[in-house]
Structure formats: C-alpha cells, structure tokens
Homo-oligomer: A and B are copies of this chain.
C-alpha cells in the first residue's frame, strides 16, 4: 500500500490556511455531535519514527474540547502491563460513548516493529494479527468509529529529520540508537509495515496512509479524513443485517447436558466432606505456589442460580489461597461509566496478572443472561455475544491462562427453601432482595438462556462445569477438584 503514496505533494500556505480554518471549525462542531449521538471514536496514529506524529496529533487534539477528547501514548509496555495479555493496555484505554480517544502508537507496534526486534515467531505474528482484527471488529460491531492513520516518510527524509533533532541538545535525546538502526534497515521495516497494512485494512477499519513529507498537506488530509469519517459514522444507520440466530463463532464446542438432564441428588457425608475439604485445600495451596512461580494466571468464573451457594463455594476456594495472589471480583450491574463502554471493557480491566488468580463472582455472561432477559441489550447484541465471549476467552487461553467456569446448580424448590430461610434468619436477611424474588419468577426464561449459554460457550479451552449444589458440601468438593485438575493439567504442559 505504501508504494502508492505520493510523497512529493506540497501545499502552499495560501491554500492551506483557509482550508485548515474551515476544517478546524467543522471538527469542533462535529465533536458536539459525537457527544450527542454518543459515538465512541478512536483515532490512531502509527508510522515511521520522526514522521511527525507528535505535532500532527497536537494540532488535531486542539480542535477538540478536552471534556471528551484525550491522547494516550503507547510506548513500550511497562512491567505491570507485561504481566497482562498483549491487548490489555489497549482494551482498557478504549473511549466511552461520545468520547474521542487519540492513540499515539497502538497495537500495531506489537505486529510490526516487535516482529523484527523481539523474538516473535511467524506463528505468533499471525495469531496476533487475527487477535487485532478480532479486537477491531468487536469495537466496530459495538458502534466504535476507528480511524487508523499511518504516517509515511522515506528513508532519506527520516535520516534528515533524525540528524536535525540531534543537532539540538534539547531534542537530541529523542533520537535513540534504535531509531538509527531502524533507519539503516528501512527496507526491512518497509516490508513489514506494508504487509501488515495490507493484512489489517478491513472494511470496518481501513488504513489511511498519509504522506508526511509536507506537513500542510498531511494536516489537511488528516482533518478531511476525520471530518468525513465522523460525518459518515453519524449518518450511518445501523444498516448491518442483525443476527438471525445465536453466533458462537468458529470454535470447537464441547457437548454439555441441558440443565433439566442434571441429577441433583448427589451428596457427601459431613465427615468425608471435612476430610476431603482439608485435602483439597492443602493441594490447592501448593498449586498456588507453583502457579505463582511459573507465572501462570488463572481465571475462575462463577455463575449460578440465586442462593445456589456461589459465595460459600468461592470462600472454600479462597481459603486455600495466599491473599497476596488472588482477588475475588464481585460483579454487580454496570455503573454509568461501565455502561458507556463496550460490555467486555470492565472485565478486561479486572484481569489478573500472570501468576495471580482472579475469581469472578458473576461474569461477562451477564450479557447472555440478565441483559438478554431484561432487555438491557438488543437481540442482535446478545446473539453476537457468544462469539465475542468465546473470542475473549480464547485470547485469555492463548495468553496462557487457566480458565475454569462453574455453573452452580440447584432446582426451583431448593431455591424457594433457601430464600425463605434467609428471610427468617436476621443475620442473613440482607442477602435476599425483591429482585431475587422477581428473578425467580423468570426461572424458565433463565433456564433457556443458561442452556443456550452452556451449549454455545463450552469450548475446548474454556469448558463449562455444572456443579450440583443441592448439597452445598458436595458442590464445594466438586468445584475444588475440577479447579485442581485444571491447574494440574496446565502445569504438566509447562514442565
């Protein structure tokens, strides 16, 4: 794609000034519409070193009210970021509805320069490209406008600019040995950039290549593109055909019984329970140390009926863990800020570090259960969510995480018994709310949603486990055993 760029075009001041003024005004106006129409906008800048990213971003951002627009620079990942999945620092920085996020560099550094400078295998590069495309598609599907600029200059121009920066004491530090190395190997980088641009210029997020020798024409091209892309996005009706049915995506699904097929009479005797609990917890404790040492992250997802015993089950797992290495993440209804973002955003934010365990008490599956049933999202959104969730969990699995998902199961009679018991016990009364009773009335709707969920998101890398919890003790031991064997399996691969 780069070969088509005309690097010789120049725009004279007399031509530039009035056009720039016109576009600046339009950009300022458009931001108000972006706010009103709640459009999330990402404008990312990538390109050659010294191609002028800094000053072009600076000019662009000044047209926007800072209440609703900001710049994020993505330089090398720091120590904390390196202990998260590759996309983590980008995911957590996505804009809310109505906000404009300008990104200085982006996920593209991980599939371009990184490939030449770090040990990224060919296979891993391809995986990353797929993962980036999935990320961008998920954002686009959620309504985010993504504008991607690549600033292009040739080898000679880059060399000239580096030299000029080096002449001045105050800018010399900006030019590093790596920059010079990149300039010397310009052709290699050219090839990687060009190939990547071609591979990742999609319908939902096409690349905009900007010839950046002449600043005036670069500014005008950028302004014009941002104006027209925002205008188009604001006008665009959601004319994409809505999903006719549930889309689990292209994944190998593991077969799993329906809830109605589950026998709920399983029990364990109190004495055996105490014994097995002790043993399992001791084992888990040891494994936690190993996980920490090998820096393997674990994501545990708890879903289940109200009063099924999730809390007590989680407690028995947590009791075996070192508090410095795990976190229980209770998931309630999203708050205002969370609602204004992609629904997966709040879960990306809470992912564990490598070597740590995150226990989610309710999860991203809210999308295909409560949000589906209560109409908090559109039919199209929840039908699409199965695939998005599978993709999300695949990303975690590729990162190296152990993923263990539990559906804590009881029947309707048992729930009623427990609700009543809670109401009759003063110390437990806070645990039962009006909403629990309302949800109970929708049991069959939930059952259908749960069956859909189990069937469509039970992948080989993140299968569901149904935990019979009529007898809470039985449920605790079963969950612990499944968790232990999932961790052991993962550790075996490691050694």
Binding site for B on A (CB under 8 A): 25, 28-29, 32, 54, 57-58, 61-62, 65-67, 70-71, 73, 78-80, 102, 104, 170-171, 173, 286, 289-290, 293, 311, 314-315, 318-319, 321-324, 327-330, 332, 335-337, 361, 427, 430
CB distance from A402 to the nearest CB of B (A): 17
Tell me the bound Cα distance from A314 to B430 in angstroms. Answer: 50
Cβ A330 vs Cβ B170 within 8 A: no
Measured CB to CB, the closest approach of chain B to A215, in angstroms, equals: 15
Q: Indicate if the CB atoms of B54 and A323 lie closer than 8 Å.
A: yes
Minimal beta-carbon separation of A47 from chain B (angstroms): 14
CB-CB < 8 A to A73: which residues of B? 323-324
* CB contact under 8 A between A66 and B330, given known A32-B430, A337-B335, A427-B29: yes
Which chain B residues border A315 with CB–CB below 8 Å?
62
In the complex, which residue of chain B has the Cβ closest to the Cβ of A286? B170
Q: Which residues of B contact A311 (CB under 8 A)?
A: 65
A80 proximity list for chain B (CB < 8 A): 78-80
Tell me the minimal C-beta distance from A445 to chain B in angstroms: 25
Provide the residues of chain B in CB contact with A61, threshold 8 Å: 318, 323
Kindly list the 9 A-B residue pairs having the minimum CB-CB distance in the complex, ordered from nearest: A66-B328, A67-B330, A170-B289, A73-B324, A71-B323, A57-B323, A58-B323, A66-B330, A78-B79
Given A62-B319, A173-B293, 10 other A-B residues pairs in contact with their CB atoms under 8 A: A57-B324, A61-B318, A62-B315, A66-B314, A67-B332, A70-B327, A71-B324, A73-B323, A79-B80, A171-B289
Most B-side CB within 10 Å, residue of A25, A80, A289, A336 = A289
Output the least CB separation between A317 and chain B (Å). 11
Q: List 15 A-B contacts (CB under 8 A).
A: A54-B323, A57-B323, A58-B319, A58-B323, A61-B318, A62-B318, A65-B330, A66-B361, A67-B332, A70-B327, A71-B323, A71-B327, A78-B79, A79-B79, A104-B323
Most buried by B among A65, A286, A315, A361: A65
Residue from B290, B314, B324, B337 in contact with A104 in the complex, judged by beta carbons closer than 8 Å: B324
Residue of B nearest to A74 (CB): B324
* Alpha-carbon gap, A374 to B192, bound state (A): 59
